[in-house]
Amino acid sequence: MRYWTLFKLSSVCVAVLIFLGLTVPAAMADDDERIVFTVDVAEDFNKFVPTPPLDSGVPQRGSFFITEGNIYPAGTIQGDGSTFDPEDPNVPEPIGRWFCRGTHIVAGDQIPATPEPWVYTSQLYFLPDDETSIATSGVEQTAPVVRAVTGGTGKFGNLSGVQEQEFLGGFNSTGGVNLRVTFVLRRPSNGD
């Protein structure tokens, strides 16, 4: 029951932040209560699998999908990422895997042009594997968004917080999105 209450409270806080247009600062110092770090994500579009409804192979509103990609240290993907090739042997080794499942809110051919949210997703970050992971939920769009951290395993197992996600603006060599993701996590206080 307490976790459900915390989830509802976290969801309301994220909704208020989104409504007010506030974002979490990308460079905050860690302290005893807070853990802040940033990673880059390169989707491997070869792993993108949509379900109907499709129009000439393009996902439409209501289409479900699953996809995945690699997680890299922050700053690995330069600029908008349009020249980034995750398969280039000169690219640093990934530090984890990213999995994403979701539902299209707009048709795939409207991405990234529409200013509206594109998809509603659940994401899983293996840092580096399922024993040290973070789960998040929320919308994705061209503008930066704040998403709720919904769970985790290992050292992230008892933390709560938010994820700020920024679409870097370009699609990598596989056709996948490039993201910069900052996690702002909190340890429970002694009274929790």
- Classify domain 2-186 at the CATH class level: mainly beta
Which residue is listed with tokens 């594109």?
A: 118
The closest of 160, 137, 134 to 147, measured between CA atoms, is 137
Tens digits of residue pLDDT in 59-102: 999 999 999 999 999 999 999 999 999 999 999 999 999 999 99
Give the model's pLDDT for residue 189: 75
Q: Do the Cβ atoms of 35 and 127 come closer than 8 Å?
A: no
Tens digits of residue pLDDT in 130-170: 999 999 999 999 999 999 999 999 999 999 999 999 999 99
The DSSP symbol for 110 reads G
- The values of phi and psi at residue 160, to 5°, are -125, 165
Q: Which helix (H) or strand (E) holds 16?
A: helix 2-20
Extract the tokens encoding 166. 């920024």
Q: What is the pTM of this model?
A: 0.82
